[in-house]
Amino acid sequence: MARIVMKFGGTSVADVEKIRNVARRVKRESEAGNEVAVVVSAMSGVTNQLVAYVNEAAKLHDAAEYDAVVATGEQVTIGLLAICLQEMGVKARSWTGWQIPVHTDATHGKARIESIDTSQIEACMKTGEVAVVAGFQGLAPGNRISTLGRGGSDTSAVALAAALHADRCDIYTDVDGVYTTDPRIVKAARKLDRITYEEMLELASVGAKVLQTRSVEMAMKHHVRVQVLTSFADIPGTLVCDEDEIVEKALVSGIAYSRDEAKITLVGVADKPGVAAGIFGPLADAAINVDMIVQNVSHDGKTTDLTFTVGTADLEKTKKVINDAKAAFGFKELIADGNVVKVSVIGVGMRSHAGVALTMFRTLAEKGINIQVISTSEIKVSVLISEEYTELALRALHTAFELDAA
Amino acid sequence: MARIVMKFGGTSVADVEKIRNVARRVKRESEAGNEVAVVVSAMSGVTNQLVAYVNEAAKLHDAAEYDAVVATGEQVTIGLLAICLQEMGVKARSWTGWQIPVHTDATHGKARIESIDTSQIEACMKTGEVAVVAGFQGLAPGNRISTLGRGGSDTSAVALAAALHADRCDIYTDVDGVYTTDPRIVKAARKLDRITYEEMLELASVGAKVLQTRSVEMAMKHHVRVQVLTSFADIPGTLVCDEDEIVEKALVSGIAYSRDEAKITLVGVADKPGVAAGIFGPLADAAINVDMIVQNVSHDGKTTDLTFTVGTADLEKTKKVINDAKAAFGFKELIADGNVVKVSVIGVGMRSHAGVALTMFRTLAEKGINIQVISTSEIKVSVLISEEYTELALRALHTAFELDAA
């Protein structure tokens, strides 16, 4: 007997027939003698509709009222799933965030979970009753409803698994696991059996879109074993776990890419102390995340070029902020380029093995792909290249790092 | 300065533009210096969609889970209305049933309000903040969400008005008042300035769909002056009040009809004591309301036929309950007929004036309409007729009782 938290996203509960499908999976785990809590998202499309209503009511709105509106999506799903389970003869009941309660801070719209009181649901689970829990929501101070921000149901599931000391947290999604790279682009992509939290974190943050970043951070912190698998087929998924659970560590576990990058080059920036702060200070004030930064060596001892990347959604805002701050530090020209992609090779094996960056650069060079910006971390090497080379680069690197399926 | 409860139904809050329109009316009352609580329903169509989901999940379902699902409709509206009010510079916040709390009993799906703790909202109202309250819902024992049954938002509003000792309760709806009969069917129908609680009760319970029955009972019990008016125009509505507030009482105030009736005839029931209890006991246990009942004289001294009506929504459940209980009392055949309508003439004047029933029967007979079942009360005469005669019967009776507009 194990204690399991299962989580199903919006596409897995998109209509009643799909919810029934979810109920069948839950029933199987419950009838196998496991204690089961299920966390569900809103039916796909519902949250977007609710957010649209709120924005139609007022562009700038009270986040507490926003939360009261959008939290209803998950409440619908838990009731329907509980009914489907009962219909199949499985004891079940629904739990909203305030009923459990899942205590959060008061940051409405992006609340953080502070604690989960598991006493009631543990008591129910011990009687064989499945706890059907609304993801994405909690109870803020003052008895108000809060939500965790988009994708927050993954975080709810992992936080609940941690609080319940669950044996594992199964995240069902519309992909069947974590792949070495995007299988839509690289046919030879392989599904990984296991991946470390750190690698998953890098994959998530560079756009692999499988798990929400915060949920992986939380899993890592509390050592929650997370399994990513599909709700549409009966096949094993990918286990996200501690490094010591992985015996044979690959040098490179996966190759990620993100098209959501824009490159900005400031030509002819004065090469003197304080200039970088003069540029990045106003960007930080405007809540614009700067990712990669590279500064060329000085041309003439007086001026240099500075290149950095921001999310494409922030490109226009960034240009405005930089141009507004121009007087403070001065530059000759601002060149913006949205046609770039960030490609990253990721692997905990890199820590103990040099040469990954070299293999990456050589592989790209052989294909005639120019590297515009480079950044590295302990377990990741990222390069910015022209977007048109995305597929070519991914396939070449996938082969070079021996990730291709046999 | 007055204390007012305003209530807006589903068609008045059907989309964000209409919710904004509601906010304008609320703003007007608030800015006139009144203390205002607003009770709202779900956006029209939403509750039906939610109920359809639940029925798709399972025909017979846990009423507590049904409540968790359908209560979300009102939660969406309160958030949106609070945002629209804030956008117009009116202080406002939303309140769900459990936040107030509105305590109900545990009869999920048809819960009864037991008490309303007004301390929090009174404190807010005193600061000039509009309390935006979710109708139709409450908090059942065990911290579960309950709903009051369809149309329950009227009951929420009247109960809140009673608990707050409000000066009046304005029920905004898609009709501009209470009519002598359905104006869509009878062109000569007239709007009533005033109507007694008792008459309104009969009108509501037979299907005039203006106010929910329980809300009128509650208004009568607590002497809450209820005004029915439209949210789409600035015209006076109908005041529902004590009999002594009405000087000239009409013999017949209105003619109502209900298509939400199904007739069940049990052929060949044993004609002996205890059979009626054997039939109606299980129906009561299944919370099925039986309305009209008629038992024929015995054919042969041994068996008889029993006819009764239930709501069309309960027809399938009724058939199941009766067939399950068949062994206990026995009958030859069960005949169900959903193509019936109940037509009622109503008026407090009847108490002191005979002949209303006779006029009704004669009028219908003149039009060749067969009466299937009859039931009467102190201020009402109801008949069950074939649904196809609905319009003909209403128009003929409206003329016969001299209700036609000049």
pLDDT tens for each residue of B25-80: 999 999 999 999 999 999 999 999 999 999 999 999 999 999 999 999 999 999 99
- Residues A120-141 have a mean pLDDT of 97
pLDDT of B170 strictly over 90: yes
CATH 3.30.70.260 location in chain B: 262-337
Q: Give the other-Cβ count within 10 Å of B273's Cβ.
A: 7
Smallest Cβ–Cβ distance between A62 and the set B57, B72, B83 belongs to B83
- DSSP letter assigned to residue A207: I
> Residue A191: which of A237, A225, A247, A245 has the closest Cα?
A237
- DSSP letter assigned to residue B177: S
Burial class (CB in 10 A: 0-12, 13-18, 19+), A84: buried
CATH 3.40.1160.10 location in chain B: 3-174
In chain B, what percentage of residues exceed pLDDT 90? 72
pLDDT of A353 strictly over 80: no
Q: Is the backbone of residue B142 left (phi > 0), alpha (psi -120 to 50) or beta?
A: left
Per-residue confidence (pLDDT) for residue B139, from 0 to 100: 98
pLDDT of A250 strictly over 80: no
- Residues B380-404 have a mean pLDDT of 95
* 8 Å CB contact of A76 and B72: yes
ipTM higher than the 0.85 cut: no
Closest residue, chain A, to B53 (C-alpha): A16
pLDDT of A275 strictly over 90: no
Q: Residue B271: which pLDDT band, with cuts at 50, 70 and 90?
A: confident
Is residue B38 within 8 A of residue B6, CB to CB? The reply is yes
Q: Residues A132, A137, A140, A143: is their CA dihedral positive or negative?
A: negative
State both tokens at B283: 């129906």
Burial class (CB in 10 A: 0-12, 13-18, 19+), B120: middle
Q: Tell me whether strands B3-8 and B35-40 are parallel, antiparallel or unpaired.
A: parallel
Q: Which residues of B are less than 8 Å from A65 in CB distance?
A: 79-80, 82-83, 86, 93-94
* 8 Å CB contact of B57 and A96: no
Which site among A47, A54, A83, A93 would you substitute to test the B interface, given the most B Cβ atoms closer than 10 Å to its Cβ? A83
Q: Which residues of A are less than 8 Å from B143 in CB distance?
A: 99
Q: Residue A333: which pLDDT band, with cuts at 50, 70 and 90?
A: very high
Smallest Cβ–Cβ distance between B86 and the set A62, A87, A96 belongs to A62
The alpha-carbon gap from B61 to the nearest alpha carbon of chain A, in Å, equals 6
Q: Which residues of B are less than 8 Å from A88 in CB distance?
A: none
Q: Tell me whether strands A3-8 and A168-173 are parallel, antiparallel or unpaired.
A: parallel
* 8 Å CB contact of B65 and A79: yes
State both tokens at A151: 């994708």
Measure the CA–CA gap between B403 and B394, rounded to whole angstroms.
Answer: 11
* 8 Å CB contact of B53 and A145: no
Kind plus residue range of the DSSP H or E element containing B303: strand B303-310
Task: Please tell me the number of Cα atoms within 13 Å of A242 on its side-chain side.
Answer: 7
- Residues B139-147 have a mean pLDDT of 97
Q: DSSP string of A307-369?
A: EEEE-GGGHHHHHHHHHHTHHHH--SEEEEEEEEEEEEEE-GGGGG---HHHHHHHHHHHTTP
The alpha-carbon gap from A312 to the nearest alpha carbon of chain B, in Å, equals 30
Pick the CATH number of B3-174 from 3.40.1160.10, 3.40.50.2300, 3.30.70.870, 3.40.50.10420: 3.40.1160.10
* 8 Å CB contact of A83 and B66: yes
In chain B, what percentage of residues exceed pLDDT 70? 99
Residue predicted with more confidence, A325 or B354: A325
Q: Is the peptide bond before A141 cis (omega within 30 degrees of 0)?
A: no
Q: Residue B158: which pLDDT band, with cuts at 50, 70 and 90?
A: very high
Closest residue, chain B, to A100 (C-alpha): B143
The alpha-carbon gap from A105 to the nearest alpha carbon of chain B, in Å, equals 18
The alpha-carbon gap from B324 to the nearest alpha carbon of chain A, in Å, equals 20
Is residue B82 within 8 A of residue B133, CB to CB? The reply is no
Q: Which residues contact A331 (CB under 8 A, 6 or more apart)?
A: A266, A267, A268, A269, A306
Q: Give the other-Cβ count within 10 Å of A44's Cβ.
A: 17
Mean per-residue pLDDT over chain B, rounded: 92
Task: Please tell me the number of Cα atoms within 13 Å of A176 on its side-chain side.
Answer: 9
- DSSP letter assigned to residue A370: P
Is residue A52 within 8 A of residue A70, CB to CB? The reply is no
Per-residue confidence (pLDDT) for residue A208, from 0 to 100: 65
Which site among B59, B83, B87, B99 would you substitute to test the A interface, given the most A Cβ atoms closer than 10 Å to its Cβ? B83
Is residue A100 within 8 A of residue A133, CB to CB? The reply is yes
Q: Which residues contact B68 (CB under 8 A, 6 or more apart)?
A: A75, A78, A79, A82, A94, A96, B144, B145
Per-residue confidence (pLDDT) for residue B325, from 0 to 100: 86
Residue with the two structure tokens 């009760």: B201
Q: Which residues of B are less than 8 Å from A68 in CB distance?
A: 75, 78-79, 82, 94, 96
Measure the CA–CA gap between B209 and B339, rounded to whole angstroms.
Answer: 19
Q: Which residues of A are less than 8 Å from B73 in CB distance?
A: 72
State both tokens at B232: 């789409």
pLDDT of B99 strictly over 80: yes
Instruction: Give the pLDDT confidence of A71-120 residue by residue, as tens digits.
Output: 999 999 999 999 999 999 999 999 999 999 999 999 999 999 999 999 99
Measure the CA–CA gap between B264 and B307, rounded to whole angstroms.
Answer: 6
CA distances from B265 to A72, B339, B388, B390 (A): 43, 13, 20, 21
Q: DSSP string of A215-243?
A: HHHHHHHHT--EEEEESSS----EEEE-G
* 8 Å CB contact of A82 and B72: no
* 8 Å CB contact of A75 and B83: no
Closest residue, chain A, to B49 (C-alpha): A76
Q: Is the peptide bond before A273 cis (omega within 30 degrees of 0)?
A: no
Q: Residues B182, B183, B187, B191: is their CA dihedral positive or negative?
A: positive
Q: Which residues contact B126 (CB under 8 A, 6 or more apart)?
A: B35
The alpha-carbon gap from B107 to the nearest alpha carbon of chain A, in Å, equals 17
Measure the CA–CA gap between B391 and B255, rounded to whole angstroms.
Answer: 12
The alpha-carbon gap from A240 to the nearest alpha carbon of chain B, in Å, equals 33
* 8 Å CB contact of B57 and A98: no
Q: Residue A207: which pLDDT band, with cuts at 50, 70 and 90?
A: low
The alpha-carbon gap from A224 to the nearest alpha carbon of chain B, in Å, equals 30
Q: What are phi and psi of A105, to 5 degrees?
A: -80, -175
Q: Residue B202: which pLDDT band, with cuts at 50, 70 and 90?
A: confident
Q: Residue A297: which pLDDT band, with cuts at 50, 70 and 90?
A: confident
Q: Which residues of A are less than 8 Å from B97 in CB distance?
A: none
What crossing angle do the helices spanning B63-70 and B46-57 adopt, rounded to 10°? 150
Q: Is A388 helix (H, G, I), strand (E, B) or coil?
A: helix
State both tokens at A202: 């890098």
Residue predicted with more confidence, A272 or A197: A197
pLDDT of B276 strictly over 70: yes
* 8 Å CB contact of B71 and A66: no
Could you tell me the pTM of the whole model?
Answer: 0.80
Measure the CA–CA gap between A308 and A306, rounded to whole angstroms.
Answer: 7
Q: Is B217 helix (H, G, I), strand (E, B) or coil?
A: helix
First to last CA, chain B: 39
Instruction: Give the pLDDT confidence of A232-241 residue by residue, as tens digits.
Output: 888 999 999 9
Q: Which residues of A are less than 8 Å from B94 in CB distance?
A: 65, 68
Q: Give the other-Cβ count within 10 Å of A60's Cβ.
A: 9
Instruction: Give the pLDDT confidence of B288-320 residue by residue, as tens digits.
Output: 989 888 887 776 778 888 899 999 999 999 999
pLDDT of B354 strictly over 80: no
Measure the CA–CA gap between B82 and B79, rounded to whole angstroms.
Answer: 5
Per-residue confidence (pLDDT) for residue B245, from 0 to 100: 85
Instruction: Give the pLDDT confidence of B4-23 residue by residue, as tens digits.
Output: 999 999 999 999 999 999 99
* 8 Å CB contact of A65 and B84: no
Smallest Cβ–Cβ distance between B16 and the set A53, A64, A144 belongs to A53
Q: Which residues contact B302 (CB under 8 A, 6 or more apart)?
A: B270, B271
Amino acid at A239: L
Q: Residues B71, B74, B76, B78: is their CA dihedral positive or negative?
A: negative
Residue with the two structure tokens 């950095």: A308
Which site among A62, A124, A130 would you substitute to test the B interface, given the most B Cβ atoms closer than 10 Å to its Cβ? A62
Amino acid at B314: D
Which site among B51, B59, B76 would you substitute to test the A interface, given the most A Cβ atoms closer than 10 Å to its Cβ? B76
Q: Name the CATH architecture for the domain at B262-337.
A: 2-Layer Sandwich (3.30)
Instruction: Give the pLDDT confidence of A309-332 residue by residue, as tens digits.
Output: 999 989 999 999 999 888 877 889
* 8 Å CB contact of A86 and B75: no
Which site among B18, B24, B50, B62 would you substitute to test the A interface, given the most A Cβ atoms closer than 10 Å to its Cβ? B62
Is residue A174 within 8 A of residue A152, CB to CB? The reply is no
